[in-house]
A and B are shown apart, each in its own frame.
Chain A
Amino acid sequence: MIEAIGLTKRYGDKTVVNNLSFTVRPGSVTGFLGPNGAGKSTTMRMIVGLDRPTAGGVTVNGARYAQHRAPLGEVGALLDARAVHTGRSARAHLLAQATTHGIGRRRVEEVIAMTGLDSVAGKRAGKFSLGMGQRLGIAAALLGDPQTLILDEPVNGLDPEGVLWVRTLLRGLAAEGRTVFLSSHLMSEMALTADHLIVIGRGRLVADAPMSEILTRAQASTVRVRTPMGAELAAALRGRPGIELTHVDGTAYEVTGSTAEEIAEAAAAARVVVHELTPVQTSLEEAYMRLTADDVEYRTTTPERTSDRTPARTTGAHS
């Protein structure tokens, strides 16, 4: 269980995490989704006490992280991939972490085997690929067999087999009643792994809902309609709640909030000629981008927009 209340982090006048409150419950995988720079990593670092909140607070399993006497037994965390001395072997790194909590060598070998690091455990971590580094981070997180797992972009750099393994592992851990909190900037990955989703953008909460609800909302379909009688179709659909008709160009229109069948019946009843009626599914990524559209930190500028702009003049720049 992770409970954040009014969590805020400011660096100078830049607010990275803004009054964030949420609860991550045991027994399910909770996804933490947001564009790059949204404040996901900072939030996770505050949960485990690496960063100090400017305001608000967060508890894990009922206490602040630093108040736990055996934190590795409570929380396993994989933060940004590199949290390992490059000159130390994977095995020595895990042994040092284990020793702090009196965890035996047997468990060290166990997590090495679980994460498939057997053949490279004696190698220095500095020589590891991104994927191997991720596996070492996951091994370290699992050392204390913790009740709560916090993973920042765990599948980053893993091959498809590794991605599948992480997904299965996390689902299994949640099924055992553990709290699993993982971040990603990929909606598609979340859709496959998470039961619940917390979405943030620019440090603020955008959505906090079950995955199924977000999927339904996301996949609210659009129907593409081509008709020479746009005005008449609009009249026929007018008055029905939630339906919206947008003119695209020429004879093409887009209807949201309705099914193709509904539109066909309404058109037939009003004797409107329809040339095309195509349901268009909004992709998850599109829905997610729409959800966080106002909250992306680094937006790519479209060429049209740039050309619209009057070139900036450098008057008085050197005076």
Chain B
Amino acid sequence: MSIFAPVAPTTGRVTVHPASFRRLVAAEWVKLRSLRSTWWTLAVGMLFLPAFAVSRVASIAQVPEAVGSDTLVGAVYVTSGVALTQLAFCTLGVLVVSGEYGTGQIRSTFLASPGRLSVLAAKLVVTTVTVAVASLVGVVLAWVVAAPFFDQTGMSIDLTRAEDTRILLGVPLYLATATALAFAIGAIVRSSAAGVATVLGVLLVVENGLAAIPWGPVQTLAAHLPASAGSRLLQSDAVGSVITVSSTTTFTPWQGYGIMVAWVVGVLVVAGVLLRRRDA
């Protein structure tokens, strides 16, 4: 019994095309979908949205005195799971890169795309688009499960209201951007444990810790940190942030989100430069 088939090295001609960006994106999608951890983190992150929406809206429904208050913005309550969803998606963002370094896969990846930057970009596109789609599905689910409680609480969501649309569609934008930040950090530290610790440390400890220091300059700095600034996109003008404790923001939603994007671009540039310079 022979394990190895006695086949000639090549049967017929093999057609090989240049490793274009489109092909790299297609290959990264094959890689992302062929890992079980992808589906687990996406599912967990996505389900936080309906789970939180229904629990918060249902609990408001138990408090008749609150009904009718200006701060009961339906879109904010429906999207309140974002604070936890971002932890799952950011973990995915780190693992997408660091998992390749941890297992040695990165060498196969760079053999196919020795330019490195294009494969980093392809990976980023695939990861953020996937996260954005999952977020959108999560938001729709959250809306669907929370809607039955709207009448009791006096809340509503109306897509013709600019603020509602901005908050609901802001969720996929914000989560994709946060994932991109995690992705860039993963590319810099190249280790899953260090990457996840750094990202969660920044989101949970640094941002909230600084925001809790009641001193003007620190407050200003804290308001400029990525999640604090970016989550302004998900805030109603009537209610504060549900993601961080930062409350002293004076940014408009898009200014805040712009600051977050600037952070992501900055960290990605560092990741790109290091990617070119370091041995794989």
Contact = CB atoms under 8 A, between A and B. Distances in A.
A312 B171 CA distance: 68
A169 B4 CA distance: 11
A127 interface: no
B196 to A, nearest CB: 16
Contacts of A68: 114
B4 A70 contact: no
B104 interface: yes
B107 A70 contact: no
Given A70-B17, A71-B19, A87 B104 contact: no
A113 B7 CA distance: 8
Nearest to A125: B103
A257 interface: no
A84 B5 contact: no
Most B CB within 10 A of own CB, among A72, A77, A161, A162: A72
B4 A115 contact: yes
Nearest to B33: A92
A145 interface: yes
Interface stretch (B8-16, B44-52, B182-190, B227-235): B8-16
Contacts of B165: none
B272 interface: no
A142 B20 CA distance: 20
Contact of B3 (A70, A73, A161): A161
A132 to B, nearest CB: 10
Contacts of B112: 71-72, 97, 100-101
B162 interface: no
Contacts of B16: 70, 72-73, 101-103, 144-145
Nearest to A86: B103
Interface stretch (B24-32, B135-143, B212-220, B254-262): B24-32
B17 A93 contact: no
Interface residues of B, number: 43
Interface of B: 2-5, 7-11, 13-19, 23-24, 26-28, 30-31, 34-37, 99-100, 103-105, 107-108, 110-115, 277, 279-280
Q: Which of A97, A100, A114 has the most CB of B within 10 A?
A: A100
Contacts of A116: 2-5
A247 interface: no
Contact of B7 (A65, A107, A114, A161): A114
A96 B7 CA distance: 23
Given A50-B107, A52-B279, A86-B103, A96 B30 contact: yes
B126 to A, nearest CB: 11
A104 interface: yes
A74 to B, nearest CB: 9
A100 B36 CA distance: 21
B27 to A, nearest CB: 4
B105 A83 contact: yes
Given A101-B16, A102-B16, A172-B8, 17 more contacts: A48-B114, A49-B110, A50-B110, A65-B114, A66-B114, A70-B19, A71-B114, A92-B31, A95-B30, A101-B18, A101-B112, A102-B15, A107-B14, A116-B5, A142-B9, A161-B2, A162-B4
Interface size class of A (residues with CB under 8 A): 35 or more
A126 B13 CA distance: 31
Nearest to B99: A85
Contacts of A145: 9-10, 13-14, 16
A52 B103 CA distance: 21
A99 B3 contact: no
B18 A70 contact: yes
Contacts of A238: none
Nearest to B38: A87
Given A50-B279, A96-B30, A113-B5, A101 B111 contact: no
B20 to A, nearest CB: 8
Contact of A66 (B15, B107, B115): B115
7 contacts: A50-B111, A73-B16, A88-B34, A97-B108, A100-B27, A113-B5, A162-B3
Contacts of B27: 96-97, 99-100
Residue among B2, B4, B15, B17 facing the most chain A CB atoms (10 A cut-off): B4
With a 10 A CB-CB cut-off, give which of B2, B18, B115, B277 has the most chain A CB atoms: B18
A99 B114 contact: no
A95 to B, nearest CB: 6
A176 B9 CA distance: 10
Contacts of A165: 4
Nearest to A75: B111
Contacts of A114: 4-5, 7, 9
Contacts of B36: 87
A156 to B, nearest CB: 15
B212 to A, nearest CB: 39
B31 A88 contact: yes
